[in-house]
Each structure stands twice: as structure tokens, then as C-alpha cells.
Copies of this chain bind each other. A is one copy, B any other.
Amino acid sequence: MSTLDTSSTGLAALLSPGTVRSTVLPVVRQQVSALEPTLARVCSYHLGFTDEHGDLSGAANGKLTRAALMTAAAQGVGLRPEDVRSQAAALELLHNSTLIHDDIIDADELRRGRPAAWKVFGASLAILAGDALQALSLQMVVDDPGPGRAEISCAFAEANRLVLAGQSREFTVRLGSGAGIAEYDRIVEEKTSALLQCALVTPALRAGSPEHVLAALRGAGRHLGLAFQIFNDVEDIWGDPAVTGKPVRGDIERRNPSLPVLAALSAGGPAGERLRGLWQAGGTTAAHLQEIADLTEEAGGRHTAEQRSRDHLDSALEHLGRAGLTPAASAELTALFDRIVNRTA
């Protein structure tokens, strides 16, 4: 499990064609360009606005998944996209702050098909740039004077806290004794679900929705994150790098908690036991990773993971149904959930 990035192309276009991108990206661009010039340069590069020399670039900006969720959820509680524009931009910035630091932590040299920010500008400036995006995100939210300001600020602060807790918990598991499935779920809920929940809940906080709506949206975000991350783990092992945009088996090479592997390990049996030895031995050659993949599949880990991802997606949609959003927004979010989890074009 690595930090998720739904880059590549096309997702935002699903949702009221171009609305998300044209609503949110100009705010992101304007806010980032107003940073101290060196920070602006690093952040604009990371976000695909510019190349390493500061010249305009046509690089991918990311799919704006969280902004798309927030925009659709806004429509679902009777708001316009503009009513949460600043928050949607802020959430994308918060997400990107974690990506910049994560690439340093994981020594990942590529992000969205280009050298990661730390490879281009050095770790020191990348640390400051990640800090600056985190700070900017929170500043945009606390400065926005609209309805629900305090509640939305708290939701962002809590999501920020949870993501960092999840990253640290994952890092600790990776270093140490390994995780069980309960620990895996907790890490994903913190690291992945928290920002998706923030995306879904923010418009409801702005609209003053009742608690049962907030609870339903939180539940939807929680299960969406789990479905997404588990599918991502399956793709890390058996996916096509041309589709995922990431090196094959990078997560298991790094011994990140991976649900197919955890499921195979907990299944026991001879394949599971051989897998345990191989997993703990730490080999990272292609042959090692292939054998881990084969044993994981043989022990039923792939099947279990695929089933769990589908179950979590079903649960996410069930919670979404309970939120009582407008039918058009519910349909839009349903399609969006499906695309987020299954990366269909």
C-alpha cells in the first residue's frame, strides 16, 4: 500500500464535464503562485503546472478525485460547486502536501511520470514545499468566512491528523513486526479514507446537514477508502504498470502492508506458510516478488482481497444511499465511487 494518487487522466471529466477542473484548478494555481517564489516553483512543478525551470507545462495535475467528490457532494446537499470551491482546492493541496513528503520518505523517484519534487529540487526544499502546502490548505479553510467555517476547519484539521497518524503507523509496521488485517484497516481508514470523508462531509457541514447525513457520508468515505486501497494493493501485485502508472510490485518490494498478502498469511496452509518465510526474508529480486505473488494467489489472498474490495464498495454505496442526497448527485457519486475504486476510464 503506497500513498494513493489517482493521476493520469479523465476522472474529473466524468462529473459535469470539466466542472471540477475549471472550478478548482484556477484556485489551486492562484494560491500556489502566491507562495514565496521558491516554494511556488517547487509546488507548481509538483502539481504539473510548470516544468523544473518554471516554464508552463502540460503535465498531469492529478485526477482531482477529492475535489470531484466534494463538488458532487455539494450538489447533493443543494449547494453550487462554487460554494465549496476554496475547500475543494484546499483538500487537493493537503493531499499533495502528503504526496511530496511521502515521495521523500519512500525515496520514490517518480510521481505522475516525472521526477519527484525532491529529485528535482532536493529534499530540503521538498520538505518546506510539503509544509507550505499543508499550511496553505489549512489557511484557506480557516480564512473562508462562509457557513460552517469552524466545523469545516475542524474536519480538515482532523483529516490532516489522521493521514499523518496512518502514515506513521504504516511506516512503523513496515519497519517492524508486520500487521494483521485489523491494523491494516485502521491504517487505511487513517491514511486513505480520512481525506475522502473530509471531501464528502465538507459540503454537508457548509449546508448545516443533520448528524445522520454526516454519519452516512463518513461511512461512505470510510468504505470507499478501503475499497480503493485494497484494489490498489491487488493492482500493485497483478496490475499492468502501463495502467497503474507505477513500477510493478513496488509496494510488496517495500513490504508495505498489502491486503492480498495479509489475507494469504492469515489463511495458513502450506502456501501461506511458505509465503510467510519469503515475506520475512526480505528478498526483492523480480523472482522473489514473482514467487510472493504466486504464493499469495495460491493461498487465496488475491481472491479474498478482490472480494473485500467489492464488499467495501457495496458498503460505501449503501452508506451513500442513507445520506439522502439528491438523486442526480447520488447517481454521479455512485459512478464516481466505481471509477475511483476500479480505475475504469
Interface residues of A (CB under 8 A from B): 35-39, 101, 104-105, 123-125, 127-132, 134-136, 138-139, 142-143, 145, 149-150, 153-154, 157-158, 160-161, 164-169, 171-172
Which residues of B lie under 8 Å from residue A123 when comparing CB positions?
Answer: 104, 123
Q: List 26 A-B contacts (CB under 8 A).
A: A36-B165, A36-B166, A36-B169, A38-B169, A101-B127, A101-B128, A104-B123, A105-B128, A125-B171, A127-B130, A128-B168, A132-B161, A132-B168, A134-B134, A134-B135, A136-B161, A139-B160, A139-B161, A142-B150, A142-B153, A142-B154, A142-B157, A143-B154, A149-B150, A150-B150, A153-B153
With CB as the reference atom, state the residue of chain B lying closest to A105. B124
Contact present for A161 and B135 (CB under 8 Å): yes
Give chain B nearest CB distance to A154 CB in angstroms.
6
Give chain B nearest CB distance to A13 CB in angstroms.
32
In the complex, the count of this chain's copies comes to: 2
Which residues of B lie under 8 Å from residue A161 when comparing CB positions?
Answer: 132, 135-136, 139
Contact flag A127-B127 (CB < 8 Å), given A138-B157, A142-B157, A160-B135? yes
Contact present for B143 and A157 (CB under 8 Å): yes
Cα distance A125–B164 when bound, in Å? 10
* Beyond known contacts A132-B161, A139-B158: 14 more, CB 8 A cutoff: A36-B166, A38-B168, A38-B171, A104-B123, A104-B124, A125-B168, A128-B167, A131-B131, A132-B168, A135-B161, A139-B154, A139-B157, A143-B157, A150-B150
